[in-house]
Structures are given as C-alpha cells and as structure tokens.
Amino acid sequence: MRALMRATVAAAVLIGAVVGGAGAAAGTPSDPPGATVTVKAEVGAHPVNGRTAEWISPDSEIMVWEYQNVVKIDAMKGLDDIRVELNGPNRARLAVGTYQDVRNQLYGPASSPGILVISRGLGCIDDYAEFTVDRIERDLSGRLVALEASFTQRCGAPDGPALNGHVHYQA
C-alpha cells in the first residue's frame, strides 16, 4: 500500500511539474506561452543607437534557451534583430536576483556576471551593465521554460548612453 501511495504522489508531483511548470507555486496559473523582447536606447547607445524596438511572438521569431549556463535571447522580425546573452559570475547558472558590475561575457573578467548584446551585426566589447532576473524556471530536464528579465547596458564607459531592455518568455 505504501509503495502505491508513493507512486501516486510521485506521479502527481511529476504531472504538476509538467503542467504547472517547474518552480511555479502550487495553485499559481502559468503564463500563456509566448515571448516579448523590448529595447529602448538613448542616442549613442551602441549597438542600438537611439532606437526603440519591440518583438512579440508569434509575429516575431523569438528564441530563448540556455547553453553552458548562458541564457541566450534571439529576437528577429524582418531585417531587425537583437541577441542578448546573460550569465552569472564565473559562468554560474542564473537565478532570481540583480546582477551588478556586469561586463562583456567574452572579454570581461570571468568572475563578473556577463552580457553580450548584438544588433544588426554590431556589438560592444567594453560593456558596463546590470540586469535583474525576476523569474527563471527550468523543467525537470533542466531546459529553460520561463524567463522574466530586464537589463541596462552601456558601451565604452559606465556613464555612456544606456540601452534598456526587457525579456518575457514562457514556453
């Protein structure tokens, strides 16, 4: 009888995780599937330079995934695109929280959190940024299934023109 109860409880937990999403509070409805990426850049903010843009699925192609503890966000509509990559200090897996003193993930110190922003083939190698992860969820296999994050990136100097962005993703 105990084995049957354990199996029933395990099945209920598994079904709840798959339907409700890993990390979702019991009884909390999940967001509907979809994604939105928005950016607003001050004049001179490289690589977006004074542009405001918004990508909303399904009209825009938005892909969000995690590879080697780097969260990658690609948004594209027509000829307009942006890629944002975020990682924790020492390439640690991202968790809910605010990350400060963020530098370029390829050229900055490994001990700092990382960011990489590319738009229309242009990027910055001297990033000064911060970002906040308000929500991040992974399924039982570790695949990213939900992300709510915002970032401010400056290129070339800590007081340079700002690029502000927001990402919402629900698988």
pLDDT value at position 97?
98
What range defines the domain where residue 17 resides? Answer: 1-28
pLDDT level of residue 77 (50, 70, 90 thresholds): very high
Q: What is the pLDDT of residue 108?
A: 84
pLDDT tens column, 110-144: 899 999 999 999 999 999 999 999 999 999 999 99
Q: Are residues 22 and 46 in the same domain?
A: no
What is the spatial distance between Cα 65 and Cα 121, in angstroms, rounded to a whole number?
A: 20
Q: Are residues 170 and 32 in contact, defined by beta-carbon separation less than 8 angstroms? A: yes
How many independent structural domains does the chain possess? 2
Given a cut of 80, is residue 29 above it in pLDDT? no
CB atoms near residue 47 (< 10 Å): 18
Q: What amino acid occupies position 3?
A: A
Q: pLDDT at position 31, please?
A: 66
**Which of 73, 55, 78, 54 has its CA nearest to residue 117?**
73
Same domain for 22 and 49? no
Same domain, 39 and 82: yes
**Across 18-22, 88-92, 122-126, least confident range:** 18-22
Q: What DSSP designation does 32 have? A: P
Q: Kindly state whether residues 24 and 76 are assigned to the same domain.
A: no
Q: Determine the average pLDDT of the residues in 92-102.
A: 97
